[in-house]
């Protein structure tokens, strides 16, 4: 049985009569110890879907789910108390900006030890030593002295390492990393991703890596989920998707990378933007931007269908040469 099983998950904002579907009927699963990359442009619904898992969708948002199960437990049916016991202990999350996630009023040590106190208990001495061990594990030098500093006294890279330490403090089964390197420079980005993968292997955690950077998930993930306008448009093994994308949106994302560009002198770009609440097209949501769109694409929404071992939401999935099938 999958560790995380999501079926027809939707997140709506705004009026009930005309809601904005930030996440629109997505389905996927994550196995224990698996690294899954969720990719797409800003506005694709990547972060909102993860917040739904964590129970962090506030009013006027509303989670609509046929199934949202973690380790056999239906997260849509448990009480708020049960959710608080689960989130942070067995499911944990690293957010985009550590400086907005860490409390500026408390020291690093207090925040780590408080997380341990809430979920694991134990004596102050035990929690203090565990906090030192965690900072050591994430590569922070002189960890004992770092326990007494405040978040504003840390660099961006150090702050992100502290966030990772807090996230893994209770040895979660599932770790969600939402754009964990966005605010960091390139050299620090590589170090953070390497650290996450090392910890994932050591603890045999499942890791969901949310990013707009396909090059990043190419090296890290075994399975990739591509999202567009709140929907899953392609999902499958990373090696297969990078070898031959089946959806035009995935193809466009790959062609924007130098190593996949058709014209090495000029990187490809996809015209237009992800549709919002008031400009969502009829039929396929990609049709205003898709170079292969036909009349059917403007009239009928494609189903998420199996193409080989992959899921593809397209009327004419691409073949191995990148051409639409008839």
Read off the pLDDT band of 269 (50, 70, 90).
Answer: confident
In Å, how far are 6, 186, 310, 317 from 237, measured between CA atoms? 18, 26, 8, 16
Check if the beta carbon of residue 162 is closer than 8 Å to that of residue 140.
yes
Mean pLDDT of 176-199: 85
pLDDT score of 77: 84
pLDDT at 181 over 90: no
Mean pLDDT of 17-45: 92
pLDDT score of 317: 97
Which residues have a Cβ under 8 Å from the Cβ of 277 and sit 6 or more positions away?
A: 14, 20
Beta strand 67-70 pairing with 304-307: unpaired
pLDDT at 10 over 80: yes
Give the Cα separation of 23 and 253 in Å (integer).
20
Read off the pLDDT band of 15 (50, 70, 90).
Answer: confident
Read off the pLDDT band of 182 (50, 70, 90).
Answer: confident
pLDDT at 257 over 90: no
pLDDT score of 285: 96
Mean pLDDT of 90-110: 89
pLDDT score of 262: 59
pLDDT score of 263: 59
Percentage of the chain exceeding pLDDT 90: 56
Give the phi and the psi of residue 282 in degrees, each rounded to 5: -75, 145
Read off the pLDDT band of 267 (50, 70, 90).
Answer: low
Read off the pLDDT band of 264 (50, 70, 90).
Answer: low
In Å, how far are 8, 30, 38, 68, 232 from 25, measured between CA atoms? 4, 17, 15, 12, 8
pLDDT score of 87: 85
pLDDT score of 261: 59
- Taking the whole predicted model, whether its pTM rises above 0.75 is answered as yes
* Superfamily of domain covering 32-54+79-90+175-326: P-loop containing nucleotide triphosphate hydrolases (3.40.50.300)
pLDDT at 18 over 90: no
pLDDT at 259 over 80: no
Mean pLDDT of 116-141: 89
Mean pLDDT of 115-141: 89
Least confident of 243-247, 298-302, 322-326: 322-326
Least confident of 106-115, 208-217, 236-245, 310-319: 208-217
pLDDT score of 303: 95
pLDDT score of 100: 79
How high is the mean pLDDT of the chain?
A: 89
pLDDT score of 266: 61
pLDDT score of 260: 64
Read off the pLDDT band of 233 (50, 70, 90).
Answer: very high
Q: Token pair for residue 133?
A: 């061990």
Domain layout of the chain by residue ranges: 32-54+79-90+175-326, 97-169
């Amino acid at each position: 049985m999958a560790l995380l099983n999501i079926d027809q998950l939707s997140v709506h904002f705004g009026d009930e009569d005309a809601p904005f579907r930030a996440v629109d009927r997505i389905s996927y699963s994550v196995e224990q110890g698996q690294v899954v990359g969720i990719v797409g442009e800003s506005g694709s619904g990547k972060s909102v879907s993860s917040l739904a898992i964590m129970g962090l969708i506030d009013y006027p948002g509303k989670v609509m789910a046929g199934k949202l199960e973690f380790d056999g437990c239906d997260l849509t049916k448990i009480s708020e108390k049960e959710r608080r016991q689960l989130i942070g202990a067995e499911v944990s999350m690293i957010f985009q900006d550590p400086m907005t996630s860490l409390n500026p009023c408390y020291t690093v040590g207090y925040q780590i030890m408080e997380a341990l106190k809430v979920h694991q208990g134990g004596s102050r001495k035990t929690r203090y030593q565990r906090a030192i061990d965690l900072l050591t594990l994430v590569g922070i030098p002189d960890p004992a002295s770092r326990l007494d500093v405040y978040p504003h006294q840390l660099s961006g890279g150090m702050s992100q390492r502290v966030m990772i330490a807090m996230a893994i403090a209770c040895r979660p089964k599932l770790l969600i990393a939402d754009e964990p390197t966005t605010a960091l420079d390139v050299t620090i980005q590589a170090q953070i991703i390497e650290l996450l993968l090392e910890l994932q292997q050591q603890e045999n955690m499942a890791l969901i890596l949310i990013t707009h950077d396909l090059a990043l998930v190419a090296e890290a993930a075994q399975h990739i989920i591509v999202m567009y306008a709140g929907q899953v448009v392609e999902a499958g093994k990373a090696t297969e998707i990078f070898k031959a994308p089946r959806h035009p949106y995935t193809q466009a994302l790959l062609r924007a990378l130098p190593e996949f560009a058709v014209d090495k002198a000029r990187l490809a770009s996809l015209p237009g933007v992800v549709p919002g609440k008031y400009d969502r097209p009829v039929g396929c949501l990609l049709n205003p931007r898709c170079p292969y769109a036909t009349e059917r694409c403007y009239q009928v929404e494609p189903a998420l269908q199996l193409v080989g071992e992959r899921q593809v939401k397209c009327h004419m999935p691409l073949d191995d040469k990148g051409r639409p099938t008839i």
